Amino acid sequence: MERLYLSPGETIDAYSTAGRTKLRRSASSLLLLGILAGAIIAVAAAATNTAVYGISDTWTLRTICALIFPFGLGLVVVTGAELFTGNCMLPITLLDGGGTIGQMLRNWVLVYIGNTLGALLVAGLCVFCGQLDYSSGALAVYTIRVGAGKCALSFWNGLGLGILCNVLVCLGVLAANSAKETAGRLLGAYLPVCFFVLCGFEHSVADLYYIGAALMAAAVPEYAAQAVAAGVDLAPLGMAGAVSALIPVTLGNILGGAGLGALLWYCHGARGRSGR
């Protein structure tokens, strides 16, 4: 009977092979598939905000978010979209001799730009097409509150939470790729992402939506006035705050994904099997 899953070594080999394709994709393909992935993750982030904006209990709020958001990664996997956080494991391909550092950096930059465009496109549509008008603007206030909170993260908190997040996201990518049928791929992607959302770890692409939507919403006078009236501190929310928040989270995502990839390659990939 044929196995419906790959062994750990086979999964690492499969990622290494897929990585060769990623490193050689045209710039236009990387950008377009990056936009798709960014938009998918942004829609998942918008869905979590919409589901919980009226909830004050932290346990309930985090649990509902954790149940909803992971479907975003599952859709990225089954559509073959290019997600920066998953591509942080591309060092696996380099360790296998399948590419160069220059190719990897090119992939990361183009995919990150694409993810940014996709996330901001969804954010703009949500803000300026009235999606945040739920409950007379209460969703807009919550969106601003979430973005402002992320902009207030310290560098080291952002870095550490970014590392933890992408270890789990990349485990989700590998678990999804270890399955040979769609249900297994979706479930493999689901559980690790559920864990990171429940724990409140930081995902750079999701944060592009959370912060981007908050910045755009705060630029709408009615939304900004409601947020101030609700006691939201808008001081951290600005371009400087966005950049200072995204840099450590992005670096943490790189360290978490690359570190996990190198560890698993060493133990299960070419080096692990050869015993060198």
- List of residues 6+ apart from 135 with CB closer than 8 A: 53, 54
Q: Are 6 and 177 in contact (CB under 8 A)?
A: yes
Residue spans of the chain under pLDDT 70 = 1-3, 270-276
pLDDT of residue 276: 41
pLDDT of residue 272: 55
Q: In 204-238, which residue ranges form alpha helices assigned H by DSSP?
A: 204-218, 221-229
Q: How many helices (H) and strands (E) does the chain have?
A: 14, 0
Query: 3-state DSSP call for residue 5?
Result: strand
Tokens of 63: 């649990």
Element (H, E) at 98: none
Q: pLDDT digit string (tens) for 117-155?
A: 999 999 999 999 999 999 999 999 999 999 999 999 999
**pTM of the model as a whole:** 0.94
- List of residues 6+ apart from 201 with CB closer than 8 A: 161, 162, 164, 165, 168
Q: DSSP 3-state helix, strand, coil percentages of the chain (rounded to 5)?
A: 80, 0, 20
Partners of 179 in the beta sheet? Answer: 5
Cα pseudo-dihedral 85, 86, 88, 91, rounded to 10: 180
Q: Are 121 and 40 in contact (CB under 8 A)?
A: no
Query: 3-state DSSP call for residue 179?
Result: strand
